Chains A and B, each alone.
Chain A
Amino acid sequence: MSEQLTADVTIDARGAGCPGPLMDLIGKVKTADSGTVFELQTSDRGSVSDVPEWVEKAGHELVETVEHEDYWSIYVQKA
């Protein structure tokens, strides 16, 4: 499934530590339309748990987390 996933917006937050990736995502989600799918690229391991926690709290949908060689792609759809 991960190969077919496409995002409307890709956020490259690789290299940034917490809370950078999460805040990058929050900033973009804030101004996006409902239904927009984001791919958050992060090399920060903490984001893999922090982002889903925020997504649940904020009522959005965690589509999937894909592990690459040296980063993760976290796909989120805005409610």
Chain B
Amino acid sequence: MTRIVIVGGGTGGTVLANRLVEDLDSEVTAGEVEVTLVNDSPDHVYKPTYLYVPFGKKTVEDAVRPLADLVDRRVDLEINRVVGIDTDAKTIELQDGRDTLSYDHLVLATGAKLVPDEVPGLVEGGHHFYGPDGAEKLRDALAEFEGGHLVLSVVGVPHMCPAAPVEFTLMADEWFRQRGIRDEVEITYTYPIMRLHGLEPVSDWMEPRFAERDIHTETFFNAEEVDPEAGVIRSMEGEELDYDLLVAIPPHAGDDLIAGSGLGDDGWVAVDRHTLEAEHAEDVYAMGDAADVPTSKAGSVAHYEADVVADRIASEVRGQLPTATFDGKTVCFIEAGMDEATFVEFDYEHPPELRDESRPVHWAKLAYNETYWLTARGLL
């Protein structure tokens, strides 16, 4: 019996589990291979939904489906939290019930978590749209906001969905226009490095659009502290901005499990960027946000990586030399307002090129969001 254990039931883990039982159909049916997906919640969350919650276009319930509805029945679904990994003994330790699970192949798809308390005052003074509670609180704050200074500060890099802060800013601009209060609102967007986005072509696309829409920008702005009483955000570089409504992209971190198991110093698993094999352990892969690869923490990356990892593990199970590799492929939609969008596609060798935004791409994004559940099942 070959045991394949996947930790994490987000996009990457779910697609991978479904792909593996499909690719190894005969071996799974014969009882020669067991695929176990361990997740600490019975729910699967499609996080991009949260972008639309503050503007009343989606609810937090829209982001959630039972994981059991998305994974193939042949996948052994274990709702439990992994609290330890022993890569020498090839076991994982579970929080409740069964003490350990042994594996022949382990895949870590543990995602990224928010750590807003790394910036003093940010929890009390800032809003975000990276989780259900934050998105709903921001929805209420935006509904009550009649005017003043909205600051969108990208505090954490890397963060999930690198397009999201750009999208939120452009959507907020148009949303205020639709409400007839844009003249009462000043918008400032801050970014930690010398341009508006990590990807230079995206920054080049943003610059004229932000200028046209009277969105102020501050670059080289690394938030150091927030003073909620004074309504001020201060940067490491000595700048400070007064705000009436602060929306922040909080700092992110990998799962504590990663650093604790020696697989990656900063909580991201050190992997070969093409094979996705862990650098510090045998028979361990990492993918999705958890993998320290030089591309975006985006759902599309996790999906493409899942295809590669499924191919490689299926080859290994069959005693073949794995040849599938990840080329860094990333695809991201970028909302440019409330009814137009563009998209970027790039990989390790090819930088992104952005087209002008259009309504059809916006509708394509909304259509994709609806069909995402088929993607998670491995059908698209």
Contacts and interface: CB of A to CB of B under 8 A. Distances in A.
A23 B294 contact: no
B238 A58 contact: yes
Nearest to B191: A19
Interface string A20-38: 1011001001100000000
Contacts of B273: 15
Bin the interface of chain A by size.
10 to 19
Interface in B217-245: 220, 222, 224, 236-238
Contacts of B222: 26, 30, 58
A57 B157 CA distance: 19
A20 B157 CA distance: 8
B322 interface: no
B131 interface: no
Interface residues of B, number: 15
A58 B237 contact: yes
Nearest to A59: B238
B84 interface: no
Contact of B193 (A17, A19, A30): A19
Interface string A23-63: 10010011000000000000000000010011001110000
Given A58-B236, A58-B238, A26 B194 contact: no
A43 to B, nearest CB: 11
Contacts of A26: 192, 222, 236
A23 to B, nearest CB: 5
B42 interface: no
